[in-house]
Structure formats: structure tokens, C-alpha cells
Chains A and B, each alone.
Chain A
Amino acid sequence: MPLALQAKGITKTYGGVKALTEVDIDVRAGEVMCLAGANGSGKSTLIKIISGVETADAGHIEMDGVDVGRPSVTDSIDLGIQVIYQDMSLFPNLTVAENIAMSARVKARSKVVRVQAARSIAARVVERLGLQLSLDEKVENISVADRQLVAICRALALDVKVLFMDEPTTALTWREIDSLSRVVEQLKADGVAIVFVSHKTEEVFMMSDRITVLRNGAVVKSGAAAEFTPDTLIESLLGYLPSEERQLSALPVEDKAPALEVHEIGRNDLFEGVSFEVGAGEIVGLTGLLGSGRSEIAESIFGILPIDTGEIRVAGQAKPIGSVQEGIEAGIGYVPEDRLTQGVILEQSIESNLIAASLDKVSGRGGFLDSGQMARASQHAVEKLGIKTDNPANPVSSLSGGNQQRVVLGKWMETEPSVLILNGPTVGVDAGSKAVILDILRLTAEQGTGILMISDDVPELVSVCHRVLFVRRGRMDGALEMDEVSPERIRERLDR
């Protein structure tokens, strides 16, 4: 197969930090190359350089063997390079169809917006990929998973030669991933070269023909996917192999009121009759398919979508939770599903993001913030979660995706909640950091916090959860207790 794209000697530094050092990669037409690497290893930076969003300090790109130097964004689109960015970069106030047609319009350099034209471009792509998307809905109103599909459609609205997908599956459950992999197969057959980034090992092996591993901004290994096993892949990108074993935190010995009890709670059209409890020191998993109501249940308990019926008790006391403020006052913390819009404020500093939910704790008399305490709190979170930054005063946008996720976690850890609800806590986090985060959750639980963890990641559920609850169509649908929790049994229930 001919080489579609080669990047040679790419080097990039930010301030004093070397993000990439003389990186060479190549990808052939009709193959899927996986770019693997830990958080902050430079994957997104490399992609941004190839697509012209960032400019390299050194190195150049070759397309079909021709040196194209360091292309600008428009150059790279003209060359047939398309990217699905990690942050998706969609326009929330435009419709699905308009978003999908956007790149086609930019390429045609057309200034006029014709609704019909946009719709037909979009309909063609959506049909080709066999997806179900409501074209006239505004992007801000659709689910994160659908947004990811929209981003994919947008990239494919044009003739692509080389398609980069930077973590396209973070918000997708296995069903959508399945349809994505069919799309990928078809593109391969059409001769498109695909570069794919993901922290989900299973998926990497399912999709890719070749793997290139980046560590600290340099290529450490490259070869056919068959030359790797899941363990050797993780070991080569981290330098060690973290444990994924089932390891439960110790439950408290004395009898304490449950951290969280919900009794017959419901909210119109979303879910009803939901009851369960999370003991102090217990980690409870909550899983179900997309649209099963699991996220809505979490958001209701936290106060974003207040419940219509039923009762919520925190540490034994009934709490009427009608707003996020009341949720926080009751002692609940919530790590939301969509990091980029709900979790972090990208342009604000890492420090302010970390204290955003504990402003009361770091402010003294007259509402004045105690700068010493703020610095201590944020330093504490940076160290505890191992956030990779040289200065907490930098904006969160300077962090890699996985490190942004740690900022969201850190923000809620700092509030020292009695109940911590996590919606996809390790989405986009590498295997090493995932193990670290799970360890932190175990420690947090041992200090008496009740943890409710919503996740699709079966190994992760098995690794930390004392119990796993299932949701289906807005109702509780059984549970697995202690020894019953195993990957097979969880999958079996989800497939049902």
C-alpha cells in the first residue's frame, strides 16, 4: 500500500516544555494506524501540527511522497486531511445539518448559507454512515454521543485522504462504537488512511492495523497491531504495567447511616420509582445503555434536574434538593459527563477551576478569598491527582485531555463531599492514570465518602465497585452484589 502521509522530525515546545521531539510517523492508504500514548504524551499536539492548527518548531509533512512543508489549516483541508478533534469543536447554536455541512462550505469558500443545501449534504453523509441523527436539532440540545457522531460526519462530508480521529469514542458506548467501526471498515475499503487515538485498549485492537506509541513526546515503538498484546501495549506506553485487578476498599466497621439513600425518586419522562442506597465508604457502580436514564438520575440527585417525586437522604437526613447549591450544601459532589462544557472552564486558570466548587471554603470574612488557602487547596489537588502542569496559573486549555479530567475530579475532591457521584470518571484517561484515579477513589471511600460511579467501562466497574446497579429505560433493573461482580456477568446483563 502506498504511503498516504508522512510526518518527519516534528518538534514542538510550549514555553519550556517539549511536547514533541523529532517525531516521525507515517500512514498508508487503506489502513488504520493507532497513535497510542499516555496523557500528555503529545498525540493531540502532533495531530494539530499536521492539520495546521499549531505550527511545529521543526520538521515537515509529506503527502503521497511530496514535501508540503508545514501546511496551514486551509492547506491541509485542500490536501484532503480531516480531523475529528478531541474537543469536537462544533457550533452549539447551529443545527446538526449546518454543522455537518460547515467544512464543505469552508472548502468551497462559499459565504452564503443555504439551508436546503446544508441539509442535503448532511443527509448524504448520515445515510452513507448508516446513522440516526435528527438533522434539524441544535447541537447544544443533543447528547454528547450524538455530538461525537456529528463531528465524525462533518469530517466525512468532504473527500478525505487522511482522517485523524482524536479520541472519537470517549462518549460512546459499545453500541455506537460498533457502528463507528463499521464506518471505519468502509472508509478503509475506499482507500482512506486513518489515524486513530484512543485510551480504550479493546478498541485499539479491534480497529487498528498498526500501532505507533508515543511516550513523553517521542516515538518509542511502532509496528503491526499483531505484534502487540494489550499488556505489552500498555507497558510500552507507560513504561510499566498498572494493575487492573479487582481490589475493594475496606468497608467501615461501625454502623453508620448510609451516605446516600434515594427512595422511589422520579422525574417526568426520564425515570421513575428509583430506589437504592450507597453506604458510607461504599463504591457503587451504576450502569446501563446510553439513554437508559443513568445520567439523569445522577443529575437529579445533584440538583440539576430536581426530582418530582420521592425522597433523597444524605447521611441519614432527608434533603430537599432543588438546585445545585442545595445539592452541594447537602454534601454531594458531581463529576459531570461532559468535561468540556460542564466540567472545566477552559480559559480560566487551573487554580480557579480547582476551587470553583469550594469558594465558600477558601473565602474568609466579607467574602474575601484567602489567597494562601486557595494556593494550598489547588496545590494539594495538583499533587494528589498528579496533574501535569508547570504552573497552576496556566489556563486549563493548556492541559492535555486526561489532565483536564483530573482537574474536574480535583475540584470535587476539594469539597470533601459525603457523597461523590462520578459520571465517567476516567473517560479519556490513560491506563496508568486510571489506576491512580481508581486508587484515589478507594482512599476517598475509606475515609467515609459514599461513591456512586456511573461508567461503561466494565473492567473499571469490576476493579473498584462493591456493588453494581443496572438501569434500563428509566427504572432500576437489578444489581450484582460483592462476589457476583465480574466482567462476564456485567456484560451478560448489559446485552440482555
Chain B
Amino acid sequence: MSIDTGRQASRSVEQATPPWALAVKRNGSTFGLLSLALVLAMAFSAINPDSYATLLNVESIAFSIPEVGLMALAISVAMTIAGIDLSTVAVANLTAIFIAWYSRVGVEQGQGQLTATLIAVAGGLLIGVLCGLLNGLVIAKLKVAPILTTLATMQIFTGVAVAITRGEAAYGVTDPLSSFGYNSLLGVPIVFWLFGVVVVAVWLLMTKTKYGVSSTMMGASRTAAEYSGIAYTWVVTRTYVLAGLISAVAGLVLVSRTASASAGYGSSYLMLAITIAVLGGANPFGGRVAVVGAALAAIVLQLIASGLNMMGVSTYIYQIVQGLILVGVFVVAFERKRVSEAISRRRRRANAQTSQTNQQKEHQK
């Protein structure tokens, strides 16, 4: 075929662009979030030089990230297939309650600390999987909209948790769990390491496996994916199971860190987690994988939370800030094209004017 000229021309253009510039272009939002995190860290350090940049505060931020970061990750994964998981906090709480309960019961029944821990954790994760399975089957088989399904299951899971605990908090975890929740390794909290591992694993799953690619395609266009032989039920069920499992890990982290669990814990986390997911680059209309972005966005929001907290700003203001960020992200994500067009049009106009004035000047000469 006689159409090779274009191909060669553009290849030479790519060579002309330095590799770092290409990398930045391809991962624009990741770099944007990283720089945002740095700018925020520096700004808050400048405002609170004695307290913000201290080891203690950095560590406390690092402890606070995993829980909500994992919940955001669960939502981000659901958004990949144009869904959402509003039940993530409820699943985390249910898991946490089970782990706290079994920690006591297992040890009381004479199981060793380690055995009791393993059973508690395995059972907790299984709860996450089952909750996710329920979400997935209702959405895929009964064809109920994801937002309604998970809103309903959120109520159900919370209701179950209230019924089990009679509305009270469950206290105490096994020794291995509490050291998992409190200790650090190489200066970084163990829970943060776990967060990192989960992020990498989910990233691999979403970008390097058949399942991940199928779900991204399904999210981008259900019809075209189905015409390519990608099974809707299979993808949807697996995705919500994955989201449930990630939520359960969030529950594991929270019960280990606080040594307590209750049905009403972290009710403000849901909004925060959605904000993080969207800031991280997830597209509520599906088709985009934003795993690393979600992790970075979690860091950004916790930096803000800690900074505002240190400045004595009330939590209400923080919630307003969260809302503004959410709106801001939507505006940037969906109006970017319009904004950039307006800018380029203005620039062209300016150019045209300068070239005109230049011409006039030359005439005058």
C-alpha cells in the first residue's frame, strides 16, 4: 500500500521528542498528582514549619492513608467498568467487626494467637468476597444499576453489622494484628507497605491480565466488548468481587490500627473515597484504569487533611474543601477540551495581531 509517508514522518517526530517528555505526556495525570503532592507538602511545611514536616506527622499521615486509599481503590476499580461501589465502607466495617469478634472468640476457645489471627483474617477477606459477589450478581444478573445496588447493599451490610454488634463497638484484636497495625518497617508503617503491595497487585491485575483488559473494554463500550466475545456477567462479577476484597483489606487495616470496630465507623469516608478515586483519574463513565492515580490522590488528600487540621480548621471546612476538589476535578476532566480550545483560540488571535503589527512595522520601515 502506498501510505507509508505519514508513518515515517511521524516516527521522526517521536524521535525528536526526548524520552522524558514522552513519558510525562503519556502519564500526565500521574506526574500532575505527584507534583501536586510535593507542592502541598512544601506549602504546609512552610505554614507550619515546626510541626508539619516532622517525622511524627509524616508517620501519622502514612498511617492514615491506607484505609481510605484502599476504599478509593475499590471504587476506582468499579468505575473502570462504568460502575461504582458505595458499599465499600460498609464492607470494611463488617470485615473489621468479624476480625475483632473472632480475635476474642478464637483466643477464648484456646486457639493460639497465630491460628486465631489467620482464621480471623481469612474469614474477614471471605466476607469481602461474598459481599462483592452479591453486588456483582445483582448488577449483572438482575440488571439493577450499580449505584442503586451498592446503595442498597451498603444499607444491608451496615444493618447486619448493627444487628451483630447491637450497635456497640467491638474491641480488641490479636497480638499479631495489633503489631501489624502499630509497627513500622524501615521507618514506614507496615500497613502502608501492605497498601503499596495491594496497589501494585491491583495495577498488575488491571493492566497486565486478560481480566483487566476485558474489564477496561467493557467499561469503554459494553456493546463492542460483547461483540468481541467478552462476557458481561463474568467481568462484572469479578470486578465487584475484587472491589469487595479490597474493601475487606481496608477493614483489616482499620481494625488492626484502631483495635476496634463498629458499624458506624468512618461514615465520612465514602465521600472522601469517591473524591480520591475521581481525582486519581477514574472515569465514572468507565474505560479508564486509575490505580496508581488513586494511590497518589489518597496521599494528596491526606496531606491536605493533616495540613488543615494543623491549622486548626474545622472538619466541616475540610468537607467543603473535599467537595470543591470533587467539583474542580470534574470541571477539569470534562471541560478540559473546551478550556484548552478557548486558550489556543485566544493565543492565535494574539499571534495574528502581533504578526499584523509586525507587518505594519515593516511597512513603516
Determine whether A2 belongs to the interface, using a CB cutoff of 8 Å to chain B: no
Are the C-beta atoms of A345 and B224 separated by less than 8 Å? yes
Contact indicator A345/B341 (Cβ below 8 Å): no
Is B3 close to A, CB under 8 A?
yes
Q: Residues of B contacting A389 with CB < 8 Å?
A: 7
Within 8 A of A (CB), among B2-30: 2-3, 5-7, 9-14
Residues of A within 8 A of B208 (CB): 368-369, 371
Does chain A have a CB within 8 A of B214? yes
Q: Which residues on the B side are within 8 Å of A345 (C-beta)?
A: 217, 220-221, 224-225, 287
Whether the pair A366, B2 counts as a contact (CB closer than 8 A) is: no
- Are A336 and B227 touching (Cβ within 8 A)? yes
A356 touches B345 (CB 8 A): no
A16 touches B13 (CB 8 A): yes
- B210 touches which one: A328, A334, A343, A367 (CB < 8 A)? A367
B61 at the interface (CB under 8 A from A): no
Is A15 an interface residue, CB under 8 A from the partner?
A: yes
- Interface residues in B, total, Cβ within 8 A: 36
Provide the residues of chain A in CB contact with B230, threshold 8 Å: 356, 359
Q: A236 on the interface (CB 8 Å rule)?
A: no
- The interface residues of chain B lying within 8 Å CB-to-CB of A327 are 229
Contact B10 A328 (CB under 8 A): no
Contact B2 A369 (CB under 8 A): no
Q: Is A173 an interface residue (CB 8 A)?
A: no
Q: Does A291 contact B (CB under 8 A)?
A: no
In the complex, which residues of chain B have a beta carbon less than 8 angstroms from the beta carbon of A103? Answer: none
Bound CA span A366–B212, Å: 12
Known: A16-B14, A239-B2, A343-B224. A325 touches B229 (CB 8 A): yes
Across the interface, which residues of A come within 8 angstroms of B364, CB to CB?
A: none
Inter-subunit contact A55/B213 (CB<8 Å): no
CB-CB under 8 A for A16 and B9, given A55-B345, A367-B210, A368-B209: yes
CB-defined contacts of B9 to chain A, threshold 8 Å? 16-18, 390
Contact with A342, one of B209, B224, B231 (Cβ below 8 angstroms): B224
A161 within 8 A of B: no
B6 & A390 in contact (Cβ 8 Å cutoff): yes
A216 CA / B226 CA spacing, docked (Å): 35
Count chain A residues whose beta carbon lies closer than 8 angstroms to a beta carbon of B: 47
Known interface pairs A345-B217, A356-B217; A366-B10 also in contact (CB < 8 Å)? no
Query: Which residues of B341-364 have CB atoms within 8 Å of chain A's CB atoms?
Result: 341, 344-345, 348
Contact residues, B272-288 vs A (CB, 8 A)? 287
Cβ contact within 8 Å between B287 and A369:
no
Q: Does A436 lie at the interface of the complex (its beta carbon under 8 Å from any beta carbon of B)? A: yes
Interface contact B228-A357, CB-CB below 8 Å: yes
**Does A142 interact with chain B (Cβ within 8 Å)?**
no
Which residues from chain B contact A368 at a C-beta distance below 8 Å? 208-210
Q: Are B7 and A390 in contact (CB under 8 A)?
A: yes
Whether A342 touches B287, Cβ cut-off 8 Å, given contacts A356-B230, A388-B3, A390-B6, is no
* Contact B10 A342, beta carbon cutoff 8 Å: no
Q: Binding site of B, secondary structure by majority: helix, strand, loop or mixed?
A: helix
A309 interface hit (Cβ, 8 Å): no
The residue on A at minimum CB distance from B344 is A55
Nearest Cβ distance between residue A166 and chain B, in whole angstroms?
A: 20
Shortest Cβ gap from A193 to chain B (Å): 26
| Cross-chain contact A324 with B226 (CB below 8 angstroms) | yes
Determine which of A15, A334, A436 lies in contact with B13 in the assembled complex, contact meaning CB atoms within 8 Å: A15
CA distance A344 to B228 in the complex (A): 9
A341 touches B5 (CB 8 A): no
Q: How many A-B residue pairs have CB under 8 A?
A: 109
Q: Is A369's CB under 8 angstroms from B210's CB?
A: yes
Do A324 and B227 touch (CB < 8 A)? yes
Q: Which residues of chain A from 309 to 338 have any CB-CB distance to chain B below 8 Å in the complex?
A: 323-325, 327-328, 334, 336
* B179 interface residue per 8 A CB criterion: no
Measured between alpha carbons, how far is A79 from B288 in the docked complex, in Å?
A: 38
Tell me if B211 counts as interface (CB < 8 A to partner A): yes
B186 at the interface (CB under 8 A from A): no
Of B1, B11, B12, B213, which is within 8 A of A352 by CB?
A: B213
B5 x A216 contact (CB < 8 A): yes
A411 in contact (CB, < 8 A): yes
The CA of A251 and the CA of B208, in the complex, are separated in Å by: 41
Contact of B209 among A325, A348, A366, A388 (CB under 8 A): A366
A328 near B223: Cβ-Cβ < 8 Å: no
| CB interface residues, B 248-282, toward A, < 8 Å | none
Asked if A304 meets B14 with Cβ closer than 8 Å, knowing A55-B345, A367-B209, the reply is no
Report the Cα distance A347→B283, complex, angstroms.
Answer: 12
Interface presence of B216 (CB below 8 A): yes
Complex CA distance for A386 and B3, rounded to whole angstroms: 8
Q: Give every chain A residue within 8 A of B1 (Cβ-Cβ).
A: 386, 432-433, 436
Contact A363 B229, beta carbon cutoff 8 Å: no
- Chain A min CB distance to B351 (Å): 11
- What is the CA–CA distance of A70 and B344 in the complex, to the nearest angstrom? 12
Q: Say whether A488 faces chain B, with CB atoms less than 8 Å apart.
A: no
Question: Chain A contacts of B213 at CB under 8 A?
Answer: 352, 355, 359, 369
Output the nearest chain A residue to B227 by Cβ-Cβ distance: A342
Q: A55-B344, A356-B217 in contact; A411/B228 too (CB < 8 A)?
A: yes
Q: Which residues of A contact B10 (CB under 8 A)?
A: 15-17, 390-391
Q: What B residues does A359 contact at CB under 8 A?
A: 210, 213-214, 230
Could you give, for residues 50-68 of chain A, a 1 whenever the CB lies within 8 Å of some chain B CB and a 0 otherwise? Answer: 0000010000000000000
Closest Cβ of chain B: how far from A254's Cβ, in Å?
Answer: 31
Assess the A16–B12 pair: CB atoms within 8 A.
Answer: yes
User: CA A374 – CA B358 in complex, angstroms?
Assistant: 53
Question: Can you pick out 12 interface pairs between chain A and chain B where the beta carbons lie within 8 Å of each other?
Answer: A15-B13, A16-B14, A17-B10, A40-B6, A324-B229, A325-B231, A327-B229, A336-B227, A345-B224, A347-B287, A348-B287, A359-B210
Q: A324-B226, A388-B3 are in contact. List 7 more A-B contacts (CB 8 A).
A: A16-B12, A18-B9, A40-B6, A324-B231, A325-B229, A346-B220, A390-B11
Top 7 nearest A-B pairs by Cβ distance? A16-B13, A390-B10, A16-B10, A386-B1, A356-B228, A328-B229, A363-B210
